Amino acid sequence: MTAHQTITAPEAAETEMMSGAEIVVRSLLDQGVEVLFGYPGGAVLPIYDALFAEPRLRHILVRHEQGATHAAEGYARSTGKPGVVLVTSGPGATNAVTGIVDALMDSIPLVVITGQVATHLIGTDAFQECDTIGITRSITKHNYLVKNVDDLPRIMHEAFHIATSGRPGPVVIDIPKDVQFGKAAYQGPQAVTHAHDYRPQVKGDAGRIAEAVTLIAQSRRPILYTGGGVINAGPRASALLREFAELTGAPVTSTLMGLGAFPAADPKWLGMLGMHGSFEANHAMHDCDVMVALGARFDDRVTGRLDAFAPTSRKIHVDIDASSIGKNVRCDVAIVGDAASVLEDMIAAWKSMRLSMDKTALAEWWREIEAWRARDCFAYTPDSKLIKPQQAVERLYHHAKDKDVYITTEVGQHQMWAAQYFRFEDPNRWMTSGGLGTMGYGLPAAVGVQIAHPDSLVIDIAGDASVQMTMQEMATAIQYDLPIKIFILNNEWMGMVRQWQQLLHGERYSHSYSESLPDFVKMAEAFGAVGLRAEHPDELDDKIAEMISVRRPVLFDCRVTKEENCFPMIPSGKAHNEMILAQEARDLGSIIDDAGKRLV
Amino acid sequence: MPDPQPASVYDLDHKAEVENLATFAVLVDNEPGVLHRLVGLFAARGYNIESLTVAETDRNAHTSRVTIVTRGTPHVLGQIEAQLQKMVSTRHVQDVTRDPNGLERELALVKVKSLGAERVEALRVADIFRARVIDTTHESFVFEITGAPNKIDKFAELMRPLGLVELSRTGVLSITRGADGM
């Protein structure tokens, strides 16, 4: 702490009068914020004015407010710290809406500050006025309209507490322009009195934990099914998960959001589960007798047909959000708590109760799993002339795996191929839009990740359709000299839409082909980035190596086979053990029944 | 027993299960938009609201008490309770219906227009139900009645053939018996 800061410490700070805009900036500093992503406009000009004189806060100017929210998500997901967004009223706020919902669905801590017209103008249909609080009420964990500048210090600090504790999520603070100009006494994070008594349950019930570990010890076919909650519980949760898996010898699978919590190199790793998960993970889920769900929410992409979901299993569900437990799937042992805290207690209980697994049964279970694994569900047939998308991701992984690498994705086939063929050893390395499925997430998310990790290799595995949704953020990457790599699997289609139209809609490809794609190489050059293109398998390795070695933003146009489908796949309305492998997928239309076709 | 799991989460309405009425008492921080947040939660997740009452109950603590009567299967009611509990503005949620000490009361104002024997009968029924007359003309009464919701249902039902004109109900309020607070 510097001498200057010592003078303004607690007592002095309590009586220090500041403008609302200065309170915003000061609160951000006191919350340890280093970076915010934003876009100025009329209703936030006072805050931008306060930022002008503040060298300790780095503001990243995006090109569209959606980009600010995704960049903040990428920043948050890759650091474990909250992401901060600053946008103006009206269109600034509405443009941020997609990213706010995305953060809610994937439990990402964001604090989004929106400008609002002056309080006396609210309700008059003033210029750039919109009911930001009304619009964002159902898409935030909590939101605030600051009507009185005296409330601002408390609201700022409370927002960070709410965004980051319990199940994380986005919090919106809507600040009218006159409140930004108004003067009030500043109070620091410790001095404010919270209006909301928000104390989520972190520690799991000891009795339930004892019941859970006993159930696991009695199991013959256990499985650990982990999700984004383990990542959100911090690196310690991932370490504890590894320890618990080692202790029990149980296989581990994960949702899309949970990738990296358990190392892909570990033999107990079965790969991702769900609609495009691995054959072994889904079969093990189906046949298990005890399932331990850790920070996962039994999403429909994961469960497939519910009445055939893990029919012989007893389920232990650990989640920090009580409303996630028993929502889609009934469980036998419900434990509300933080994944790290509960795992720690489970490990302690396992040891103190001197529990052990039935080694013979476990060995037999592993023999079954190895037989599923031997089916090699991600096998594909390379082509001598054309690049297969799976091959592109595989080669990318080969070149990037020994580097300090972070991966973001857009949404669609390429996202699934990335999840299948890129392997993660550590948490916080994988940023993807799971719940909302937001095309256009990956490029701005990569911007946010690169800001947090300037010397790391940050790659957005993208699709040609998705990447066009937030392409403007390339300019942000150029402005801040962020060497992000946008690796586009270009098949000229909205690939996942095309796949579903082929399999479910009689090959009627309604509006899913991009008739006129931009020349991505020229586009890169127009932005001032590097454009690379690979069209032949023989040039793939060299071009990827070039992309990685360039210390500048790169748009990589990887031309892949156009009509490749993403397999394996659990067809809609089917069970885990009815998974279709690529070689069996001749006529999926006849496999999926009418009820299944109605599902998304 | 119904099928424990439907074919898909999209079919997760548990149609075969019996729907019950349930009353939740929710203590919330009294701040702008809190009612919208709560009602929005019900609308967004497709839950029913049969009745809703809300008023500030502690000015110093800035808390309001909301009483919601809703309808759903045991699974849905469990979700409603969890979702209410999850709101940042929520201090406390109580499932009054499941609480054996739960008390529920409602107030209704009932306007009845009749003459002659029907008018006399209306007054007699009101007396049995301990309803009070709070306004009268030569051809009408306004009754004030309090009680459990089914008592008010019954009163309205009896008044219908006796010239029921208008019925205004507060919705259910609840509290528990005994010395302990919520």
Could you please report the per-residue DSSP string of A280-323? HHHHHHHH-SEEEEES----HHHH-SGGGSSTT-EEEEEES-GG
CB contact under 8 A, B4 and A330: yes
Name chain A contacts of B82, Cβ cutoff 8 Å: 322-323, 325
> What's the complex ipTM?
0.85
B36 interfaces chain A, CB cutoff of 8 Å = yes
Q: Rounded to a whole number, what is the distance in Å from the CA of A203 to chain B's nearest CA?
A: 16
Asked whether A87 and A38 are in contact (CB, 8 A), the reply is yes
Q: Do B36 and A137 touch (CB under 8 A)?
A: yes
**CB-CB contact of A81 with A32 (8 Å):** yes
Tens-place pLDDT, residues A89-98: 999 999 999 9
Please answer yes or no on whether B5 and A599 come within 8 Å at the CB atom: no
Surface-to-core class of residue A195, CB atoms within 10 Å of its CB (0-12 exposed, 13-18 middle, 19+ buried):
middle
pLDDT confidence bin for B8, thresholds 50/70/90: very low
* d(CA A327, nearest CA chain B) in Å: 7
Q: pLDDT at residue A14 above 90?
A: no
B10–A contact, CB cutoff 8 A: yes
pLDDT of the residue at A268: 98
Task: Give the max Cα distance, chain B.
Answer: 63
pLDDT of residue A586: 59
Least confident of A183-192, A266-275, A491-500, A589-598: A589-598
The H or E element that residue A461 is part of is strand A457-463
- pLDDT for residue B136: 97
Number of H helices, E strands in chain A: 25, 20
Q: Tell me the pLDDT tens digit for each residue of A392-413.
A: 999 999 999 999 999 999 999 9
Confidence (pTM): 0.92
The pLDDT value given to residue A348: 98
- Alpha helices (runs of H) in B33-173, residue ranges in sequence order: 34-44, 74-86, 116-128, 149-159
Q: Where are the beta strands (DSSP E) in B14-50?
A: 20-29
The size of the A-B interface in CB pairs under 8 A is: 70
Does residue A600 have a pLDDT over 70? no
* Inter-chain CB proximity B86 and A322 less than 8 Å: yes
CA angle (A542 as vertex; A538, A547 as ends), nearest 5: 135
Digit-coded pLDDT (tens) for B35-48: 999 999 999 999 99
